[in-house]
Amino acid sequence: MPQNDGIFACGARLREERQRLGLNQIEFGKLADASENSQTAYEKGKTAPNIAYLLKLQEHGVDIGYILTGQRYGAPVVRPDEADRWLDEAEKILDEIGDVAEARKRMGDRLTGIALDAALPDRIRGRADFMLSFLGDEEAKQRRAACVRKVERERENARMVMRESFDRAARISGWRPDEELRNAVLKLCEMMQIANPAGIEAQLLDIPLEMLLRAVKQP
C-alpha cells in the first residue's frame, strides 16, 4: 500500500474511533492537545499524527492499535448492557425531538460509535444502524443491507443442513417419501425450528399427505 494510502486509511479509522466515543473533532482533539484544524487534517489523511498524539489518545480509551493496523482487540469500551440502555433512551429522545437534523446533531456520533464497535454484539450494532438509517446515514443503510444479506445466507445454510440431515435420516430408516411430501416435511421442520429432523419421519408417516400439506400452508 502506498504511504499516502496508508495515511488516508489511518485517518479514516481515527474518525471511526472519534465517532465510537461520541465526540466531535474539537472534543476529541483536546484529548491530545490538538487543534480542530489538526484533527481535521489527521482524519482526512492530509497529515499523519505523531506518536505523542496517539499515546495521549490511548490514555483516554482510544484504540490506537485499530487506528494503525485496522485490527481490534479486547472488550468494547461500552458494555452491551450500557449500550442497550443508551439506545433505549436515544429512541425516546428521537421521538421527543421529531427533527431529524437536530437528532443527528445530538446523537449521530454516539450512534455511529456503537454501530462501529466490532466488540459489541451484532444485535446492538444493528439497533444503532437502524436508528442511523432513519436519520439518513447512507453508510448505516449499506451496513444494514449487508447485515440482511448475511442473515439470509445463514438461513439458507441452515436450510441446506436441514435438507441434508433429513435425507440422511430417510436413507438410514429406509423411508422414501416423494418430492412433494419431502418438501412439505422440510417446510414443517423449518416452521418448527427443528435443526435435525432425524427420527421425526416415524411420526409423520401416520399423517395423511393432504392434512400435512394443509398444515404447512397455514400462515
| Domain ranges within the chain, ordered by starting residue | 3-69, 80-136, 148-217
Inter-axis angle of helices 3-20 and 36-43, nearest 10: 120
pLDDT value at residue 42? 92
d(CA 206, CA 2) in angstroms, rounded, equals 69
Give Cα 17 to chain centroid, integer Å.
Answer: 17
What is the phi-psi region of residue 48: left when phi exceeds 0, alpha when psi lies from -120 to 50, beta otherwise? beta
CB atoms inside a 10 Å sphere around CB 141: 15
pLDDT value at residue 37? 94
Cβ atoms of 36 and 25 closer than 8 Å: yes
State whether the Cα torsion 74-143-102-96 is positive or negative. negative
The CATH number fitting domain 3-69, selected from 3.30.413.10, 1.10.645.10, 2.60.40.10, 1.10.260.40: 1.10.260.40
Mean pLDDT by 10 residues, the chain (219 residues): 69 87 88 93 89 85 81 63 84 79 79 79 85 83 79 77 73 73 69 51 50 49
Please indicate, yes or no, whether the overall pTM of this predicted structure exceeds 0.85: no
pLDDT value at residue 2? 46
